[in-house]
Structure 1
Amino acid sequence: MNTPPTGVSISASVTDYMVENLCRRLEEVAESRARATPEPQFQDVETCHSWKCAVLLTHFKPKEADKHRMRISQHEYWEVECLHYMKTFANLMRQKGHSEDGEATADHWRALTMSYQKLLEKGGLSSSEIRKSRLSIDNQKYWQLEADLYERIVAQSEHEMREALLKKDESQRRRQARKNQPAAEPARRVQRPQPTNLVSGGIASRTKSRTSTGVTKRVLRQPQSRR
């Protein structure tokens, strides 16, 4: 039998294989980490002006800086700041529009809505223009709540009108019934008989006569003597 070669050559080949395999795996791990880690994104030069401005503001007091920046005449500058304040104000009002327990309060939003309407009026919009703008709201839940309110009001108004008509008809029917009843005959006056008195065994009759002055005289007739 042929004896196998010494183990020196076999060890070298195994070592080379292991080194090669290890290097390949290290390269795969490095590539995997490179793909997982994004390359740093450097900001443009324009975005660094905020840092530059912050450094320069340290040379001025806040009121002094505000006075200086009023000299800026580019409308883009003031438009950006105005829109920023509008967004900030909206977020602030949204936070205040909820009670302590987190529930939205209608009273707050109602008052704020009226304030915005006044601002629009001061800005030059008429009442009709504000109403027209409101009609462009694209929120069906908003319109559903308003329609439900009007529906209840109209139903209540119609119910009250029907009740008023029924009462009016009933009143007219009663008046007509009273007119159709026969007129009651006037009560007849009963004449009471005049009383008679017996004087000395005879009948004394009183006669009445009226004078021109309306005074009544009473004449007492004496009984005739018997012959």
Structure 2
Amino acid sequence: MSRRSGVPVPTIKYYVREGLLPAGELTSPNQARYDDGHERRLRLIRALLDVGGLSLSAIAEVLRSIDDPEQPVHEVLGVAATRITSAEAEETGEAGPEPAEAREAVAALLARRGWRVDEDNVAARSLAGVLAALHRAGHGGFAELLDVYADAAEPVAHADLDYVRRRVAREDLVESVVVGTVLGEAMFGALRRLAHVDASARVYGDGQEAEAAPKGA
């Protein structure tokens, strides 16, 4: 399993000791057999750690949710997405109290869109933090684009979910959410920057100037 996954043997043994990875079937005093389920769980652990940036305690929480047969899939995916969003907020410094105006703007957006999301959801709080940061930077008017961004986000979210639905095992479902949340956002951000370059060239440049548009615009 170490050779197939690229994860060192000592690391795999550590995951087993910490209860993140079930022990293999002993075939001798110092040998164990691992099946496809072990590999799937190991791949998920690495995705949560390397891509999602989660701590081992947060990973353990996600895994407990997966292993609870009473937990609906929606709740399992919600636990994973919440932990990922919380980790990102801590890394970027977005976590913390938000002004009432920012929270009210997010609440109004959720009501306007009819989105079935609690106002205290970590993503909602993260958005309120972004709006507060925009206001502090003197660009509070950027909030006028909330619905434009929401219009773009809805079809992307549905496409993400369609991708996730192709998975069968709960580990595969959660891994898809982790990768889609982190790397999907990176892909969306890169596409947005590419669109910025094109839009800038079309609005502000003519033929020759368009070709010389800055690559990072």
Assess same fold via TM > 0.5.
no
Structure of higher CA gyration radius: 1
With structure 2 as the length reference, what TM-score do the two structures score? 0.20
Pick 1 or 2: higher relative contact order, CA cutoff 8 A, min separation 6.
2
Greater fraction helix: 2
With structure 1 as the length reference, what TM-score do the two structures score? 0.19
